[in-house]
Amino acid sequence: MCLIVVGLNQVYIVYMGDLPKGDVSVSNIHIGMLEEIVPGVASDVLLYSYGRSFNGFAAKLTQDEAIKLKGKEGVVSVFPSQKKQLHTSRTWEFMGFNKKMRTSIIESDIIIGMLDTGVWPESESFNDTGFGPIPTKWKGTCQKSANFTCNKKIIGARYYLTDGDNGPEDFISPRDADGHGTHTTSTAAGGLVSQASLFGIAKGTVRGGVPSARIAVYKICWSYGCSDEGILAAFDDAIADGVDIISLSVGSSIPFDYFEDSIAIGAFHAMKKGILTSNSAGNGGPTPGSVVNVSPWSLTVAASTIDRKFVTKVKLGNGQIYEGATINTFDLKGKMYPFIYGGDAPNLTLGVASEFSRYCFPGALNATLVKGKIVFCEYFTDYEGVLEAGALGAVFQDTGNKDFQFSYPLPFSTLNVNDGRMIINYLNTTENPTATIFKTSQDNNQFAPFVVSFSSRGPNPITTDVLKPDLTAPGVDILAAWSEASTVTEDDTRRTRYNIISGTSMSCPHATGAAAYVKSFHPTWSPAAIRSALMTTAIPMTSNNNIEAELAYGAGHINPLQATDPGLVYDAGEIDYVKFLCGQGYTIANIQLISGNSSSCSEETDGTVWDLNYPSFALSSTPGKSITRVFHRTVTNVGSAVSNYRAVVNAPPGLIIQVQPSVLSFEYVGQQQSFVVTVGAELGNSMISGSLIWDDGVHLVKSPVVAYASIML
């Protein structure tokens, strides 16, 4: 049961767990509770009443009034609402997931709920040609709007708007004004569209992971963010509407309680109904402990590269060519233009010295001197300074990471420090320097896949011994559909039907599509079984490119085709998570409210974090200490009826992994076998990792084993 309260200047969420039993009007319960706190104005302050999938409401209250609600019987938690932020081609082929892949006959019955900025329904990616009737299990609706129409591909659409969330550019409908929601939705389940590109860049066929799947749109994000009360309202509807997978590429600061987080709350109730929630891990990397959306009942997805990178070359008047890292959509046709150093064009009118103008901050440049020229800037800040000064283009020296690119509203490239020094020397020794910036070209990324620098890293900030993120998927320079109401970049006037952007927002829908693909072959599998299949079949990665290893990429890089036949799965359901919550110190009263039943905690039922039936193994301790943990696990046979799996342990020096029994024998599909893993580690100030693989000669059921020093948080 859950309740959201909005103070005069603040929104509070009051979570009350599962729906009450019997024929009860939850909205009447909510109004009754509010009448006790704010007599006579309960209906006026009520914003949302949740009663389809869990119980709660949103209301405008002061902090003192919210505190009074916190003390009432039946309340699990009260916490301030936040504005969460968005975690902002050939990606499927890179994963071996091509147009000729095997598909399920029920793929078109799979419904993906996309919680995002809405969608641009006219995009060719959402064409419903060839689609049959809408699945009979669908209980949702297409919210009436003058500018939005559903079809047999987009079968439902809703929007959730709280006063003050929207800006003048927003559509008060499920229509996407931003582009983010259209991009993520087409990545997960868009149809095949040939000759798609961003002004000729990355031209090819784009598609989603499950092109035949249906889409249900839940618009939760507006110009000023994605409110917790809207997120919970969308979960409440999506669960009851009958979606199979929920995809959510948003997040915010890290909560330290699962039930003070709207996404974790919604995902818990989705799990209870057999719906997996796929979440982005966040864009706070490479800072340790920056990962968000870490509830153990959801899937947490990091972002990694594919075997394609974009380069933007700069040519000088002396013939030298330097390779930069942006997405430049402008074509100067190779024409050479006057090239000026920002330090030679200070805005003296404002008293700017060359020591400052060389960085090209807004207001720092002399517009008369730079207008119509390409400007070189010594430090990457932003494009605004050169754009407002009327420059034709810009080349920035950049000390930051070059493993992802952005587009800009003018010809633009960023170079490393060494190349920057060469250009400064050219500018200082040439009487009339010139340069041109080439349109972006495509090159091979031989190091792919590796986790990109911005992708949030573990350890898990709430439950340190549950490894997060779970896995990684493509999230760098992804081409997908775009809203035609949005421009290519900010401060831009150009529109496009397809755009290239990066973020864990882009990796999440790749995992969503993969999960939906697995679900189409195994419609009765639980969310935990689907997540297990994705994790244990993931392609192993190496710390050569990511020193944080599993704290960056989890179980590895997603492998959708293999995930349909994992051999064994680590299954878990509500009772397992209730035991986990008991072990985490939640009270019996709160657990009964959350679960909606008479669950209890005791020495027999309390589950340690190491006994949660998770497909990975993690343990942590203070630096310089020895640590030993015992893990109890159960696997379910979903492969060959008669099979024998042998434990294969990979453990570097300093890590000991023992498995009992070391052989698991199965006689039928669905049979379960349990085993115990004892892990010992000598910890320094970092981490050490190995793996456990169950091998039957056909399947390799892989799990990472990670020990790390708590100083990494």
CATH number for the domain harbouring residue 15? 3.30.70.80
pLDDT at position 99 is: 58
User: Looking at residues 135-154, what average pLDDT do you find?
Assistant: 93
Calculate the CA dihedral of residues 532, 536, 538, 543 and round it to 10 degrees.
120
Inside any domain, residue 519: yes
Average the pLDDT over each of 146-150, 153-157, 431-435, 641-645 and give the range with the smallest value: 146-150
User: Looking at residues 620-637, what average pLDDT do you find?
Assistant: 94
Q: Map 361-403 to HEC letters.
A: CCCCECHHHHCCCEEEECCCCCCHHHHHCCCCEEEEECCCCCC
Q: Which of 385, 417, 444 is the last residue of a domain?
A: 444
Inside any domain, residue 608: yes
Chain mean pLDDT for the chain? 91
- Tell me, yes or no, whether 428 and 461 share the same domain: no
Average the pLDDT over each of 74-83, 408-417, 457-466, 689-698 and give the range with the smallest value: 74-83
pLDDT band at 6 (very low <50, low <70, confident <90, very high): very low
Structural domains counted in the chain: 4
Give the pLDDT confidence of 524-540 residue by residue, as tens digits.
Answer: 999 999 999 999 999 99
Residue whose C-alpha is closest to residue 134's, from 148, 152, 121: 152
Say which residue the tokens 């079984």 belong to.
529
- Tell me, yes or no, whether 526 and 659 share the same domain: no
Inside any domain, residue 551: no
- Tell me, yes or no, whether 639 and 701 share the same domain: yes
In this structure, what token pair is assigned to residue 420? 């920057």
Q: Which residues are catalytic?
A: 116, 180, 505
Q: What's at 600, amino acid-wise? A: S
In this structure, what token pair is assigned to residue 449? 């896949």
- Tell me, yes or no, whether 292 and 353 share the same domain: no
Q: Which of 444, 463, 497 is the last residue of a domain?
A: 444
pLDDT band at 3 (very low <50, low <70, confident <90, very high): very low
Residue whose C-alpha is closest to residue 449's, from 320, 307, 292, 315: 307
User: Looking at residues 370-378, what average pLDDT do you find?
Assistant: 96
Burial of 325 (0-12, 13-18, 19+ CB in 10 A): buried
Other C-beta atoms lying within 10 Å of the C-beta of residue 333: 8
- Tell me, yes or no, whether 256 and 379 share the same domain: no
- Tell me, yes or no, whether 616 and 672 share the same domain: yes
- Tell me, yes or no, whether 222 and 108 share the same domain: yes
20: containing domain: 10-80
The residues near 594 (Cβ < 8 Å, ≥ 6 apart) are 17, 18, 76, 259, 268, 578, 581, 586
pLDDT greater at residue 169 or residue 86: 169
Give the pLDDT confidence of 155-209 residue by residue, as tens digits.
Answer: 999 999 987 778 889 999 999 999 999 999 999 999 999 999 999 999 989 999 9
Inside any domain, residue 4: no
pLDDT greater at residue 518 or residue 447: 518
Rg (CA), the chain: 27
CA distance 511 to 528: 14
Is pLDDT above 50 for 106? yes
- Tell me, yes or no, whether 428 and 464 share the same domain: no
Average the pLDDT over each of 53-62, 235-244, 279-288, 413-422 and give the range with the smallest value: 53-62
In this structure, what token pair is assigned to residue 547? 């020193």
pLDDT band at 59 (very low <50, low <70, confident <90, very high): confident
How far lies 653's CA from each of 18, 500, 657, 688, in Å? 47, 43, 11, 9
pLDDT at position 603 is: 74
In this structure, what token pair is assigned to residue 20? 């009450």
Q: What's at 43, amino acid-wise? A: S
Q: What's at 127, amino acid-wise? A: N
User: The domain that contains 608 carries what CATH number?
Assistant: 2.60.40.2310
Calculate the CA dihedral of residues 680, 682, 687, 688 and round it to 10 degrees.
-60
Inside any domain, residue 556: no
pLDDT at position 44 is: 84
Residue whose C-alpha is closest to residue 380's, from 335, 326, 319, 344: 326
Inside any domain, residue 98: no
Burial of 484 (0-12, 13-18, 19+ CB in 10 A): middle
pTM of the model: 0.92
User: Looking at residues 642-671, what average pLDDT do you find?
Assistant: 97
pLDDT band at 5 (very low <50, low <70, confident <90, very high): very low
Which pairing describes strands 193-198 and 471-474: parallel, antiparallel, or unpaired?
unpaired
pLDDT at position 708 is: 93
Is pLDDT above 60 for 33? yes
Q: How far apart are the first and last CA of the chain?
A: 32
pLDDT band at 1 (very low <50, low <70, confident <90, very high): very low
Print burial letters for 560-583: b (CB count within 10 Å at least 16), e (below 16): bbbbbbbbbbbbbbbebbbbbbbb
Q: Which of 444, 466, 482 is the last residue of a domain?
A: 444
With the C-alpha atoms ordered 503, 267, 275, 145, is the resulting torsion angle positive or negative? negative
CA distance 459 to 551: 6
- Tell me, yes or no, whether 122 and 248 share the same domain: yes
Percent of the chain scoring above 90 in pLDDT: 71
CA distance 129 to 136: 19
Inside any domain, residue 96: no
Is pLDDT above 60 for 92? no
pLDDT at position 556 is: 97
CA distance 445 to 78: 47
Cis peptide before 449 (omega within 30 of 0): yes
Inside any domain, residue 88: no
pLDDT at position 89 is: 47
User: Looking at residues 83-99, what average pLDDT do you find?
Assistant: 62
User: The domain that contains 435 carries what CATH number?
Assistant: 3.50.30.30
- Tell me, yes or no, whether 383 and 412 share the same domain: yes
Burial of 336 (0-12, 13-18, 19+ CB in 10 A): middle
Is pLDDT above 60 for 713? no
pLDDT band at 14 (very low <50, low <70, confident <90, very high): confident
- Tell me, yes or no, whether 152 and 291 share the same domain: yes
- Tell me, yes or no, whether 569 and 692 share the same domain: yes
User: Looking at residues 262-272, what average pLDDT do you find?
Assistant: 96
